[in-house]
Amino acid sequence: MPPDPAAGGGAAAHFRALESLYRSAPVNRLFESRIEIVEEGFARIRFQVGEDLFHAAGAAHGTLYFKMLDDAAFYACNSLVTDRFLLTTAFNLLFTRPLRGGEAVAEGRWASGRRRVLVGEARLVDSSGEEAARGTGTFMRSHIPLTGLDGYRP
């Protein structure tokens, strides 16, 4: 059951519950990151790019780009869906520059769709404000209720 707007929950409670869900995912223990869902259809993830995430040529491995862009676009889209967990069905990624060290930000926005499939876009910006990558994902409603997930806590 989605957060009850009559109980003072509404969109803000849903956003906080999604942020809690992000923090509860075991994979996020591998990445120093924090998410904020600031409004419907928009999510921001701030994260650290450390040398432990570099490939052999001294820049961030593509795994980091994909993970942060996918998550930002996913949570932007799931902010519009209060009853079901979304699943990534496709994600296209364009690398535009290497990520070295420091803080980076992935910003995701809902682009289209609201019924069964939603489309989200994300861009990744390095510590100097330069774009390092962008991506577009499609996300499908699953049969998994958000409230059935331990981490989803309004």
- Is there a domain that residue 154 lies in? no
Q: Given strand 33-39, what is the order of strands in its sheet? A: 33-39, 42-49, 102-112, 117-125, 131-145, 84-95
- Is there a domain that residue 71 lies in? yes
**What's the domain count of the chain?**
1
What pLDDT is recorded for position 5? Answer: 39
Q: Report which of 81, 88, 90, 86 is spatially closest to residue 41, judged by C-alpha positions.
A: 81
- Is there a domain that residue 121 lies in? yes
Q: What is the pLDDT of residues 61-76, one digit of tens each?
A: 999 999 999 999 999 9
Which position has the token pair 């994902």?
137
Confidence tier at 126 by pLDDT (50, 70, 90): very high
Q: What is the pLDDT of residues 22-57, one digit of tens each?
A: 999 999 999 999 999 999 999 999 999 999 999 999
Tokens read off for 143:
């049969």
With 70 as the cut, is the pLDDT of residue 2 above it?
Answer: no
User: pTM here?
Assistant: 0.92
- Is there a domain that residue 153 lies in? no
Confidence tier at 148 by pLDDT (50, 70, 90): very high
Instruction: Return the CATH number at 131.
Output: 3.10.129.10
Note down the domain range covering 97.
Answer: 5-148
- Is there a domain that residue 39 lies in? yes
- The mean predicted confidence, pLDDT, of the chain is 93
Which position has the token pair 């902010």?
79
- Is there a domain that residue 13 lies in? yes
Amino acid at residue number 57: A
Radius of gyration of the chain from its Cα atoms, rounded to whole angstroms: 15
- Is there a domain that residue 114 lies in? yes
